[in-house]
Amino acid sequence: MGCCDSFQRLGCFDVCATIETGLTAAQTGTHTYIFHAPSGILQTTADLTTGDDIDLNIDGLNENMRYVLEIVQPDGTQLGDTCYDFVTESRTDV
């Protein structure tokens, strides 16, 4: 994992959710999302334009797990030198 000057907790989310981070892309191009978890690392990408909202589709991540997310911008720098922390849950109506 790259160096993070700070961590921001995003919260707990249903494993089938989309996380609205409140962040916006500062660059146009392919952004890489690196999800770190005890079970390993998963990378996905998104093509964004400057000003686009950064929303994370977490469908397919393991449930009941803590993740640390790095967002790497098209120029290879980390967005804001910040890593983002969240937990996935399995929510069912009983």
Domain ranges of the chain: 6-89
Distance separating alpha carbons of residues 39 and 23, to the nearest angstrom: 26
φ and ψ of 59, to 5 deg: -60, 130
- Its pTM stands at 0.87
Distances (CA, A) of 8 to 11, 25, 88: 9, 17, 16
Which tokens hold the place of 80? 């804001």
Tell me, what's the pLDDT at 3?
A: 66
Distances (CA, A) of 90 to 7, 42, 58, 61, 83: 24, 19, 12, 11, 23
Level-2 CATH architecture, domain 6-89: Sandwich (2.60)
Local confidence band at 93 (pLDDT 50, 70, 90 cut-offs): very low
Question: What tens digit of pLDDT does each residue of 8-54 get?
Answer: 999 999 988 899 999 999 999 999 999 999 989 999 999 999 999 99
